[in-house]
Amino acid sequence: MGSPGNAAPNSEPTPPTPQSAPPADAAPPHVLPAPATEAGREGLSALLSHPERTVIALDFDGTLADIVPDPEKARARPGAVAALGRLVPRLRAAAVITGRPATVAVRLGAFDSAPGLDRLTVLGHYGAERWEATTRTVHAPPPHPGIAAIQAELPGVLDASGVWRGTWVETAIERKGGRAIAIHTRRATDPQSAFERLRGPLAALAERHGLIVEPGRLVLELRPPGMDKGVALADWIHETGAATVLYAGDDLGDLAAFAAVEKLRSEGLTGTLVCSGSKEVTELAERADLVVDGPTGVVGLLGALADRLAADNP
């Protein structure tokens, strides 16, 4: 390389090399956000230095998918699956852990047709169901007998509550493949008040039939006991033999997974807890190492991790 000292005499100044400007429609580069806690920084640093020992696990609704009024219309946020497809091949494994039936999450996320997701596991119904990308098959326990009884009694309970009446009641009920039943109040006239008014009657109904109520974002879900995202996540992490985990969630059902990571950290695992932030739920933000701006922020984080790992190991 030349220097001013050995430039040819009387030569014209070299014009600056033209910098190629990014195309006007290019996506801005992802910026890797910094966790607010020491544990989170350790977790992220371990992920970046040893991705082959790291697993990531993500919730679906509110984390990979925007919240929408009709649960059937939820889809993985644009860019989410592509970012996962770039990131997951560099990691030990990845999982989506969701309250949805596993096959529904696979369909809404289009996880089965996405390149790079060969090592994805989807744990549905809070971990009771399992779908593997390698086999594309689902393992599920038999339906709890209480679900059929609840299906029969539910219209009467909703009608008696005065919250939902007549044919509109059907827009509130999500039947979840006959293995759980979710009652949504997002489309009620006053969603929060409907949620509060239904809480007691639905808890009593669930208890009569040996089920539990899982509260979520304007949803009360009646489901079998004995499994939660914490149990599902801890079992899956042990199975993978991972030393580091990143977990991201947005709702109350994700608190069990947060607790599992906190316990595993006390036993020597490194981990980062990410909250997909919203105004509807604040409990996770208080315990997270990193709060991002909903599913948009989650996509940014996944993209930034993929970019960084690609830059470090082209």
Ligand X SMILES: O=P(O)(O)OC[C@H]1O[C@H](O[C@H]2O[C@H](CO)[C@@H](O)[C@H](O)[C@H]2O)[C@H](O)[C@@H](O)[C@@H]1O
Instruction: Give me the residues that bind ligand X (CB under 6 A), please.
Output: 59-62, 67-69, 71, 74, 98-100, 174, 176, 182, 184, 186, 216-219, 221, 251, 253
Is 298:64 a contact under the CB 8 Å cutoff?
yes
CA distances for 106 relative to 81, 130, 175, 303, angstroms: 11, 11, 17, 20
Residue nearest to ligand X (CB): 99
Q: Exposed/middle/buried for 23, CB within 10 Å: 0-12, 13-18, 19+?
A: exposed
Rounded distance, CA 18 to CA 33, Å?
31
Output DSSP code: residue 91: S
Give whichever of 226 and 241 is closer to ligand X, judged by the CB atom.
Answer: 226
Q: How far is the CB of 71 from ligand X (least distance, A)?
A: 3
Q: How far is the CB of 256 from ligand X (least distance, A)?
A: 11
Instruction: Tell the residue number behind the tokens 């997701």, with chain if given.
Output: 117
Give whichever of 214 and 308 is closer to ligand X, judged by the CB atom.
Answer: 214
Q: How far is the CB of 249 from ligand X (least distance, A)?
A: 7
**Cβ neighbours for 296, distance < 8 A, ≥ 6 positions apart:** 77
Question: Largest alpha-carbon pair distance within the chain?
Answer: 96
**Which of 115, 64, 114, 122 has its CA nearest to residue 93?**
122
Give whichever of 149 and 173 is closer to ligand X, judged by the CB atom.
Answer: 173
Q: How far is the CB of 198 from ligand X (least distance, A)?
A: 13
Give whichever of 55 and 122 is closer to ligand X, judged by the CB atom.
Answer: 122
φ, ψ for residue 186, nearest 5 deg: -60, -30
Give whichever of 137 and 192 is closer to ligand X, judged by the CB atom.
Answer: 192
Give whichever of 129 and 221 is closer to ligand X, judged by the CB atom.
Answer: 221
Q: How far is the CB of 97 from ligand X (least distance, A)?
A: 7
Q: How far is the CB of 217 from ligand X (least distance, A)?
A: 4
